[in-house]
Amino acid sequence: MISDKARQRMRDLANRYPVARSAVMPALYIAQQEEGYISQAALEAVAEVLNLTVDDVESVATFYTMYYQQPPGKKVIKVCTSISCYLRNCDALVEQLEKRLGVKRGETTPDGNYTLMTTECLASCGTAPVLQVNNKFVENLTPEMIDALVDEWNRELSAEKAAQGMPQVVAEETAPRQA
Amino acid sequence: MTELIVTKDMDAPGIDTLEGYRQHGGYSALEKALKEYLPDDLVEMVKKSGLRGRGGAGFPTGMKWSFLAKNDKKRYLCCNCDESEPGTFKDRMIMEKNPHMLVEGVIITSYACRVSTAFIYVRGELELAGLQVARAIEEAYAAGYIGKNILGSDFSLDVIMHRGAGAYICGEESALMESLEGRRGYPRLKPPFPAAIGLYGGPTVINNCETLATIPAIVKNGADWYASFGTEKSKGTRIFCLSGHVKKPGNYELPLGTPLRTLIYDEQYGGGILGDKQLKAIIPGGSSTFILGSDKVDTPLDFEAIAAAGSMLGSGGVIVINEDTCIVDAVLRMTEFYRDESCGKCTPCREGTYWLTEILHRIEEGHGREKDIDLLLDVCDNISGKSFCPLGDAATSSITSSIKLFREEYETHVREGRCPFKERTQPEHPEAGVQTLQAGAR
């Protein structure tokens, strides 16, 4: 469900632009923040606030890759595989991540912890190869650094889980080490 | 050390805050512009400075401003910060490190072009850059640099940061406007050009991030000062984004006309080829520009000289490729980008980029046929100039130029049925390999 507060933020945005429809992209971001992805409820809320049809909103949401059509993992890993990162051996990073996380690119781990994606040039070619974890950059990578990174992410996820009062899961169990 | 303009105070501590920016003379150009110049004077000043667009096409900025249709429709400014051309990473740096410089450039440009609503379209993936720009806008509102009657003048302006959501095509100006209007990022047919009918139907000026970040320095120091840098037709400095096989990749601001060799080999800049290998090829302006051979390494980095050498200065993304790189595989990687980023509106680009990757893939994998090389050129010919926007054309640049320069390498792939840069594939059963070896020895 999209909260009243989120709907109000969308309405405020619609008033900020010269034409309300221009707020469809930021409104989709707000909805995605609440739902984790572009759910049916998200589409309906944006459509209602901006006075558009649900199909119309969906046509926008499906054009842009940053609006997720399915629930992504808690950590979305995007590895740049464009030319400058390619010249700096980004493919080895992707392979190492596939091994460590036990999923192929484009997939989410069964426990919902990780989504591994490859992505187009992230404007970080001077510090290639690079990846983003939940839109934060990690630059100047080597395949050796991947193990330490995944360990760190696993610890963060365990800590989050512990903080929510859930029984702590050993992170290694969810992402078997295969290398 | 040459004089820096855009990156001058880039690494000064606190420059990303309003106070820090003001301590380095920030917003004094805006004050000067509002108090000493009429809008048309500023357009003339920027024309005289020789500043040309830093996004890719290199169109003279002042000229672009003067083309705005003179009617009673509301005008708009869009600052294009949708940086996503492979090999380019300068706008991200400007936004993250010195967002107020960009905002000041946007305000001055809006005044010069009589715009009352400006948009800064920031690429979605660049989250920190977007947050920095949004904060700078907020601070500028609070300080009275944006809003009603700026600094006591009769000029009022609204500035909105708009975040993209993952679509390279939105860096194309008409797709950017579609996206701002809340639609899929499909390019519009031109003409009409944005200067006549643009955002919400109004006359619209669209400038790149680095272009607008240069404006405050020009207003502060004058057109003649700016024009004293660079060459006769390519004035000023620009940020070159150096990446690939160099020892010290990074952003380097240099006067236009600096030789490629200086950027790549000078100890202050690239420091030479990684691992002291031989240079094989250079892509001088982002992956959409034609590949140059190593014999062009003494070409000056200005619009005219790079064009004469057979390419384009584009976005300033200089990608360096060493001798160990398979050109077919590198071109395949670049072509996959355009296949994935083609918006799908025009058939030649949508279908063509798909088939280009299919053919390149089979050549790289050793399944190519002799006629595939000419087939690639034929497909390129059927894409080029046959779509609404330049994305399809851009997809063909690396293919046509690499076949021209390295046709032999393509032919070797076909003839030998494998990529000569990859080690021979290991046989599936080790014993089989041993037997072959023994057979060979006998």
Strands B317-322 and B237-244: parallel
User: What's chain B's average pLDDT?
Assistant: 95
Contact B243 A126 (CB under 8 A): yes
Shortest Cα–Cα distance, B339 to chain A (Å):
11
Give A7-53 as a DSSP string: HHHHHHHHHHSSSGGGGHHHHHHHHHHHHSS--HHHHHHHHHHHT--
Contact B333 A83 (CB under 8 A): yes
- Measured between CB atoms, does B201 come within 8 Å of chain A? no
Q: Percent of chain B having pLDDT more than 70?
A: 95
Contact B340 A67 (CB under 8 A): no
**B424 band by pLDDT with thresholds 50, 70 and 90:** low
- A interface with B, Cβ–Cβ below 8 Å: 16-19, 21-26, 28-29, 50, 59-60, 63-67, 78, 81-84, 86-88, 119-128, 132, 135-137
Contact A16 B160 (CB under 8 A): yes
How far apart are the C-alpha atoms of B231 and B388, rounded to whole Å?
33
Strands A136-138 and B76-81: unpaired
Contact B325 A87 (CB under 8 A): yes
Q: What angle do CA B184, B354, B400 make, to 5 degrees?
A: 110
Q: Which domains does chain A have, with CATH numbers?
A: 4-61 (no CATH), 75-174 (3.40.30.10)
Q: What is the pLDDT of residues B377-421, one digit of tens each?
A: 999 999 999 999 999 999 999 999 999 999 999 999 999 999 999
Q: What is the pLDDT of residues B239-295, one digit of tens each?
A: 999 999 999 999 999 999 999 999 999 999 999 999 999 999 999 999 999 999 999
Most A CBs within 10 Å, among B89, B288, B320, to test the A interface = B89
Contact A21 B127 (CB under 8 A): no
Tell whether omega for the bond before B300 is within 30 degrees of 0, i.e. cis.
no
pLDDT, position B437: 40
> Chain A to chain B, count of Cβ pairs less than 8 Å apart?
139
* Mean pLDDT of the region B199-205: 98
How far apart are the C-alpha atoms of B39 and A88, rounded to whole Å?
47
Paired residues of B259 in beta bridges: B300
pLDDT, position B423: 77
- Measured between CB atoms, does B150 come within 8 Å of chain A? no
Find the CB nearest B200 among A18, A60, A82.
Answer: A18
In one-letter notation, the amino acid at residue B162 is H
**B1 band by pLDDT with thresholds 50, 70 and 90:** low
E-state strands within chain A? 75-80, 114-119, 131-133, 136-138
* Mean pLDDT of the region B23-28: 97
Per-residue pLDDT of chain A (179 residues; tens, 9 = 90+): 899 999 999 999 999 999 999 999 999 999 999 999 999 999 999 999 999 999 999 999 999 999 999 999 999 999 999 999 999 999 999 999 999 999 999 999 999 999 999 999 999 999 999 999 999 999 999 999 999 999 999 999 999 989 887 554 444 444 444 43
Contact B243 A125 (CB under 8 A): yes
Kindly tell me if the per-residue pLDDT of B18 is higher than 50: yes
Query: Locate tokens 């031989």: which residue?
Result: B278
Gyration radius of chain B over CA positions = 24
Contact B319 A84 (CB under 8 A): yes
pTM exceeds 0.80: yes
* Residues B365, B371, B377, B381, CA torsion sign: negative
pLDDT, position A27: 98
Query: Locate tokens 């009589």: which residue?
Result: B114
- Measured between CB atoms, does B249 come within 8 Å of chain A? yes
Q: Which of residues 261-290 of B touch A (CB under 8 A)?
A: 283, 287
Q: What is the pLDDT of residues B290-343, one digit of tens each?
A: 999 999 999 999 999 999 999 999 999 999 999 999 999 999 999 999 999 999
- Measured between CB atoms, does B247 come within 8 Å of chain A? no
Q: Which of residues 37-76 of B touch A (CB under 8 A)?
A: 74
Q: Cβ contacts (< 8 Å) between A19 and chain B: which residues?
A: 181-182, 200
pLDDT, position A175: 45
Which conformational region is residue B400 in: left (phi greater than 0), alpha (psi within -120 to 50 degrees), or beta? alpha
Q: Which of residues 362-381 of B touch A (CB under 8 A)?
A: none
Q: Cβ contacts (< 8 Å) between B179 and chain A: which residues?
A: 25
How far apart are the C-alpha atoms of B20 and B197, rounded to whole Å?
39
How far apart are the C-alpha atoms of B399 and B287, rounded to whole Å?
11
- Measured between CB atoms, does B315 come within 8 Å of chain A? no
Nearest CA in chain A to B181: A22
Q: What is the pLDDT of residues B34-73, one digit of tens each?
A: 999 999 999 999 999 999 999 999 999 999 999 999 999 9
Q: Which domains does chain B have, with CATH numbers?
A: 18-225 (3.40.50.11540), 238-322 (3.10.20.600), 327-416 (1.20.1440.230)
pLDDT, position B441: 36
Reading the block at residue B297, the tokens are 């390494």
Paired residues of B205 in beta bridges: B77
Q: Which residues contact B103 (CB under 8 A, 6 or more apart)?
A: B120, B133, B136, B137, B140, B145, B146, B159
